[in-house]
Structure 1
Amino acid sequence: MTRLSLLIACIALLAGPAFAQSTASDPAGFGGLAGEADEQINVSADLLEILENENAAIYTGNVVITQGTMQIASERVETIYGEGGPSDLQSFSASGGRVEMAFDDQTVQADTADYDFGDRVLVFTGSVVVVNASGTVNADRLVIDTRAGTSSFSSAGGGGRVTSTFTPGG
């Protein structure tokens, strides 16, 4: 076993149950989102602007998106919808200040969040911080594939690194 493999194995063991809630391939424990992917989506905001010619809607001011137990908060969310109108969501892009997601007993903060409803892939970018009882992970990018139940952290080029702090038994 190489040193890198051994280090990864040790980190996985120290991560505790909160970072491995659903599968071994989902170190951040977001696999539970798959079970909620077909649930009703609720959006609230201070203002909603529908751009019919562009099949888009823009929510601004204290935007909160809720689906099952997952909640995303942002200052601005742009949605793209299909033939069925604004309720036929295809994707959204959240930005404006910090975007925050709460799911189960963990939180994610990032500069932006993008979700493709068809692929069921949620991408957080820019100073990503994931916190739960087991620890904290910092990265430039987090990709959550809710259908596959996997999550992946990465860093930007130029020497950026993914960093983690775990609390044994957390």
Structure 2
Amino acid sequence: MLRTLTAAAAMTVLALPALAQGAQVAFGGATQDPDAPVEVSADQLQVNQSDGTALYTGNVVIGQGEMRLAAPRVLVVYVEGQGRIDRLEATGGVTLVSGDEAAEAERADYDIEAGIIEMTGNVLLTQGENALTSERMIVDLENGTAEMAGRVRTVIQSGGDE
């Protein structure tokens, strides 16, 4: 019991700088491939040829490699004149899953070419039994890392009682 309390106290002290300034954590790892094809399914699709966008609504699920993103509304913006996706803008409550890691937020913007996903608004990241919350998280798919900022809070499971 004393060892568990000591470990918890040590983790709290180590996490204090993260609470004030933000935290960098692993996310997605080496399984992500920003160059992999993007597959989208939804209840409805509206295409706007004049501005090069496609709006998916209703139970939208986007897959790329082993990563899945789900949201009620996703705007797909294409690179002008090239027919390839430039970025995705997901809103209305977003869930991003990669392996056993999952993140939730109010909004997610995915820059396909850069391999960067920015999630904002009540971000919750779960990694196994551990959880982190913040207002903003930027995921770098190439490096398999995420940076959290905006009052970061971490809950780390100690592994049981002794």
Residue 129 in structure 1 maps to residue 124 in structure 2: yes
Tell me the residue number matched to 1:49: 46
Report how far residue 149 of structure 1 moved.
3.0
Q: Against the structure 1 CA distance between its residues 150 and 106, is the aligned structure 2 distance closer, same or farther, given a 3 Å change threshold?
A: closer
Give the TM-score normalised by the residue count of structure 2. Answer: 0.80
Report how far residue 169 of structure 1 moved.
4.7
Report how far residue 106 of structure 1 moved.
1.5
**Which whole-Å deviations, capped at 9, do the CAs of 1:88-119 have from their partners, x for residues lacking one?**
100010002x2111110011110000001121
Q: How does 1:57-72 map to 2 (within 5 A)?
A: 57-72=54-69
- Helix, strand or coil at the partner of 1:118: coil
Give the TM-score normalised by the residue count of structure 1. Answer: 0.76
Q: Is the 8 A contact 1:128 1:139 kept in 2?
A: yes
- Helix, strand or coil at the partner of 1:75: strand
Q: How does 1:53-132 map to 2 (within 5 A)?
A: 53-82=50-79, 83-85=81-83, 88-96=84-92, 98-132=93-127
Tell me: higher relative CO, structure 1 or 2? Use CA pairs within 8 A at least 6 residues apart. Answer: 2
Tell me the residue number matched to 2:14: 7
Mapped partners of 2:82, 2:73: distance in 1: 22
Count, aligned residues:
143
Higher strand fraction (1 or 2): 2
Larger radius of gyration: 2
Tell me the residue number matched to 1:36: 33
Q: Is the 8 A contact 1:134 1:169 kept in 2?
A: no
Mapped partners of 1:133, 1:148: distance in 2: 20
Mapped partners of 1:132, 1:57: distance in 2: 32
Mapped partners of 2:139, 2:101: distance in 1: 14
Instruction: For structure 2, list consecutive stretches of 5 or more residues without a partner in the other structure.
Output: 1-9
Mapped partners of 1:141, 1:162: distance in 2: 9
Superposition CA RMSD, Å: 2.3
**Which whole-Å deviations, capped at 9, do the CAs of 1:7-66 have from their partners, x for residues lacking one?**
15xx9xxxxxxxxxxxxx962332335x42121210000111111110111001110000
Instruction: For structure 1, list consecutive stretches of 5 or more residues without a partner in the other structure.
Output: 12-24, 156-160
Mapped partners of 2:103, 2:149: distance in 1: 15
Structure 2 residue identity aligned to 1:78? L
Tell me the residue number matched to 1:165: 155
Mapped partners of 2:97, 2:50: distance in 1: 33
